[in-house]
Amino acid sequence: MSKLKSGSTLERLLDRGEFVVTAELGPPRSVDPKVLDDKISALKDSADAINITDNQTSIVRVSSIAAAAYLVRQGLEPVVQVACRDRNRIAIQSDLLGAALSGVKNILCITGDHQCFGDHPQAKQVYDIDSVQLIQMVRDMRDRGVFQGGQEIRNSKKAEIHEPRFLIGAVENPFADPMEWRVSRLEKKVNAGADFIQTQCVYDMERFAAWMREVVERGLHSRVKILAGLTPIRSLGMLKHMKENVAGIAIPDSLAERLGAAKDIKAEGLRVCLEQIERLRAMEGVAGIHLMTVEWEAAVPQIVGAAGLLPRPKAA
C-alpha cells in the first residue's frame, strides 16, 4: 500500500476500488446549528464523505471549515470546498492549516462563483490564485512541506516539518465550452495534483459517456478517481431554473419533456436519478457518484438505498 496521502475514509475506499458515494451540504445562513444537525442525520449513513460548500453562489454562509470541524466532531468525514473568490493565498494557506488541525482530510479546490450572483454584488473579488494553482499549492504543502512562498511548514527553523495532508479534489464541467478542450483541462488539473474529481451534475448521459471515453483513452482514470455529479430534479420550477439560468448545465429536451409530463415529478426525478446511477456504475472509469441534492438531503438515503449501495462500506 503506497503511503496514504491523507488517510481519509474517502481515500481508503477509492484506493480499494469501492463505488464511492459522496453528498453535499450547504452550511446554515445563521449560527443556529439545527439545520446542520437535520442534514447530518439525513446523510450520516448514506454517504462516505460530505462536501461542505464555500459560500456557494457567493451567498454568505457559515465558513466551510468551521462546519467541517462540526461534522468531524459528529464522527463524519467532510470534504471542505475551498473557493478562490474570497481569500488570497495567505488566507487560504492559513485556513488549510486550521482545517488540518480540526481533522479535515479532504479538500475540493474550486474557482468559486462570481460575486455578482450572490447577495454582495458590490464586494471586491480576490481570485489571487485560481483553482489549478490552488491544487498545485495544496499538493506542494502536502508532498514538499512548503508554503506557496517557498518557506517550509514548520514552527521554527529547527522544528520538524508538520505539513497538512489532504486528499485533493477538483471539479470539472464536461458540458461547458470549448467542449473539445474539457478533457485536456481535466488533464491539466491532474498534472497539478488532483486526486479525485467531482463533475458538474450530469443530465446529458450521451455527452458524459463521450467525455468519459476520452478520459479513459488518455488513461486519466488511472491517475485520478472520477465521481459523477447527480442532482435529482424535484419540481418544474427547479427544472426551468437549471435549464435557463445555471450556466454550463445541458439538460436534453427528451429528459425535460419526460419530467414535464410526469404526474409526480418528485418520484419521476428519483427514478431518473436511479437510471443514471445504473448507467454510471457500468461506465468504465467512473469511481463513484457525488449527490448534490440542493436542500433535498432527505432524498439521499432513498436514492442510495434504492440503488443498492447501502450499507456503506467501512474504511477500517
Site residues (CB under 8 A) for other proteins? 84-85, 89, 111-114, 116, 125, 127-133, 136-137, 148, 171-173, 176-178, 181, 184-185, 187-188, 191-192, 200, 247-248
Strand, helix or coil for residue 155: coil
Contacts of 213 (CB under 8 A, 6+ apart): none
Residue 176 CB, nearest approach to other proteins (Å):
5
Residue 86 CB, nearest approach to other proteins (Å):
12
Contacts of 95 (CB under 8 A, 6+ apart): 65, 82, 87
Nearest C-alpha neighbor of 79 from the set 91, 68, 69 = 68
Nearer to other proteins, 185 or 279 (CB): 185
Residue 148 CB, nearest approach to other proteins (Å):
7
Q: Which helix (H) or strand (E) holds 266?
A: helix 265-282
- Cβ atoms of 208 and 26 within 8 Å: the answer is no
Residue 152 CB, nearest approach to other proteins (Å):
19
Nearer to other proteins, 8 or 53 (CB): 53
Q: What size, in residues, is the chain?
A: 316
Nearer to other proteins, 89 or 258 (CB): 89
- The single residue listed with the C-alpha cell 427514478 is 271
Nearer to other proteins, 180 or 206 (CB): 180
Nearer to other proteins, 73 or 144 (CB): 144
